[in-house]
Each structure stands twice: as structure tokens, then as C-alpha cells.
């Protein structure tokens, strides 16, 4: 039997209702969990976004894409009882399914950063080599400058800084600082290519230059894509799918 891709037969009005219900869920249940959540966040499957701890902030126009089987987790857990831990994410950032950011001290992420699926960023080893009973002297802040892009399954360890515009290749483990305007890859990650900072670079913020128009474009796209769908076929595709679905 050959492979085929299932189509989305949702009627437009159902799609519109689900989008608005999703936004209401984010405002009512998700926003209060953040120290700050900027304007117009888009959270896909928000029930699978897990926040633990205080001092977690994300800027404007965040895209957080969760999946049923691949949650996004943001966790702050102070390294000692007298301290505090924080996660600060800038504007226009993308967090893909499986992203985990865990702070014992401080993780700072700039604007326009992109996290591909299953990235992990942590500012702590969580246990010492010789004292494995608690987190002690094994934390150091992590900083990602503006417009950093982490490929799939990248791991960023404690004390690391990644410079502006730099790209980390899929599967890499970042254990030391990466300068600005480079591509780095490997385990441990090393610079393999330079990026020309003088060349024009289109950043995620361009999508939201006119935020009201962006939302209208999404609405228009849904109307174009789903307006021909009918309730009968959608219901039938759920209970009795065929190869044509």
C-alpha cells in the first residue's frame, strides 16, 4: 500500500472558531503563568506548553509550536534556596516542538531567535562531579544574541554565549562560546563557515512589521484554503477515512 498525506477537511467556520478558541485559551490559561508574555503570541496546541517556576518572560509576537507528543518546556529551578533563576526571551522568536529551556541561574535569548525541534538549553550541570546530592557550583549564565538559529536537536550547555546572527548546525553540542556571524557545527561545536554581516538578512520581525495586516493575511489564507470544505465530508473523514482523504 502506498503512502499518502491526509488532507484537512475542516470547514472554514470551524477553523475560524478553533483559532479564536485557541487565542482565548492562551490569554486565560497561559499568559498568567508568565512573568511577561508580549503582544499577539501564537501558541500551537497550548495545552502542551509546560511552564515550571517563576521569572519566565517572552517578548512580542512569539511563535511557540507544541505537539501532542512533543511538548515545549520552560523551567526555572534556582541553584540554591537564596537565589533566583530566570528565562528571558526576546521579540519575534520561534520555539519548535520539543524545545526545552532549563535555568538554574539565568538564560537570556535575544530577538528574532529560532529554535528548531528538540533543542535543549541549560545553564547548569544540575549535579557536581564530586557532590552529586545537589546543584552546587555548577551553573553559569547562557546568552544567545539577536537572530541566533539553533538547528534540530542542538544542545547548549552552561556558560555559553552565541553571537548575533550565528547558526548552529543540527545535532551539535555547544560547550564553548560561538562568535557572531558564523555557522558552527559538531560535538563540540566549531566554526565551519563565516556569515557576511554586510549582506542583507531577512529576520523574523519582517513578518510582523504590520501586525494587524499579518493577522488578516492568516485569516484570508484560512478562508481561501478551507472555504470549499463541507461539514459532511469533514465528519465522514473522521469516522470513515479513505485514501482520498
Helix (H, G, I), strand (E, B) or coil at 87: strand
- In this prediction the pTM is 0.89
The answer on 70 and 118 residing in a single domain is yes
The answer on 245 and 191 residing in a single domain is no
Helix (H, G, I), strand (E, B) or coil at 10: coil
Q: Tally the C-alpha atoms within 13 A of residue 222's C-alpha that lie toward its C-beta.
A: 17
Q: What grid cell was written down for 109?
A: 535569548
For the chain, give the mean pLDDT: 91
pLDDT at 141 over 80: yes
Q: What grid cell was written down for 62?
A: 512569539
Residue span of the structural domain in which 149 resides? 38-198
The answer on 92 and 28 residing in a single domain is no
pLDDT score of 82: 63
Does any domain span residue 203?
no
The answer on 166 and 243 residing in a single domain is no
End-to-end CA distance of the chain: 15
The answer on 25 and 137 residing in a single domain is no
pLDDT score of 214: 73
Of residues 163 and 129, more confidence is placed in 163
Does any domain span residue 55?
yes
Q: How sure is the predictor about 96, in pLDDT bands with cuts at 50, 70 and 90?
A: very high
The mean per-residue pLDDT over the stretch 82-111 comes to 95
Residue 94's DSSP bridge partners are: 63, 114
Percent of the chain past pLDDT 90, that is, above it, reads 69
pLDDT score of 1: 35
The answer on 242 and 152 residing in a single domain is no
Report d(CA 97, CA 148) in Å as an integer: 17
The answer on 154 and 45 residing in a single domain is yes
The answer on 186 and 218 residing in a single domain is no
Report d(CA 139, CA 193) in Å as an integer: 30
Which CATH number is 152's domain given?
Answer: 2.160.10.10
pLDDT score of 191: 98
Give, as one character, the DSSP assignment of residue 116: -
pLDDT score of 3: 43
pLDDT at 99 over 80: yes
Amino acid at each position: 500500500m502506498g503512502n499518502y498525506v491526509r488532507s484537512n477537511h475542516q470547514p472554514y467556520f470551524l477553523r475560524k472558531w478553533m483559532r479564536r478558541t485557541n487565542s482565548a485559551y492562551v490569554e486565560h490559561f497561559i499568559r498568567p503563568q508568565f512573568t511577561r508574555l508580549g503582544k499577539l503570541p501564537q501558541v500551537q496546541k497550548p495545552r502542551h506548553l509546560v511552564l515550571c517556576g517563576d521569572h519566565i518572560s517572552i517578548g512580542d509576537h512569539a511563535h511557540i509550536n507544541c505537539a501532542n507528543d512533543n511538548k515545549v518546556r520552560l523551567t526555572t529551578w534556582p541553584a540554591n534556596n537564596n537565589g533566583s533563576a530566570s528565562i528571558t526571551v526576546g521579540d519575534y522568536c520561534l520555539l519548535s516542538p520539543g524545545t526545552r529551556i532549563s535555568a538554574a541561574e539565568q538564560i537570556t535569548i535575544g530577538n528574532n531567535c529560532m529554535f528548531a525541534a528538540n533543542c535543549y538549553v541549560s545553564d547548569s550541570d544540575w549535579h557536581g562531579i564530586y557532590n552529586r546530592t545537589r546543584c552546587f557550583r555548577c551553573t553559569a549564565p547562557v546568552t544567545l544574541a539577536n537572530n541566533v538559529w539553533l538547528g534540530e536537536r542542538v544542545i547548549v550547555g552552561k556558560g555559553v554565549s552565541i553571537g548575533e546572527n550565528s547558526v548552529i548546525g543540527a545535532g551539535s553540542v555547544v560547550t564553548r562560546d560561538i562568535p557572531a556571524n558564523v555557522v558552527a557545527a559538531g560535538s563540540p561545536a566549531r566554526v565551519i563557515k563565516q556569515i557576511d554581516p554586510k549582506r542583507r538578512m531577512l529576520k523574523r520581525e519582517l513578518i510582523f512589521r504590520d501586525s494587524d495586516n499579518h493577522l488578516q493575511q492568516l485569516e484570508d489564507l484560512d478562508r481561501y484554503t478551507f472555504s470549499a470544505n463541507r461539514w459532511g465530508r469533514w465528519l465522514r473523514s473522521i469516522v470513515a477515512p479513505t485514501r482520498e482523504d
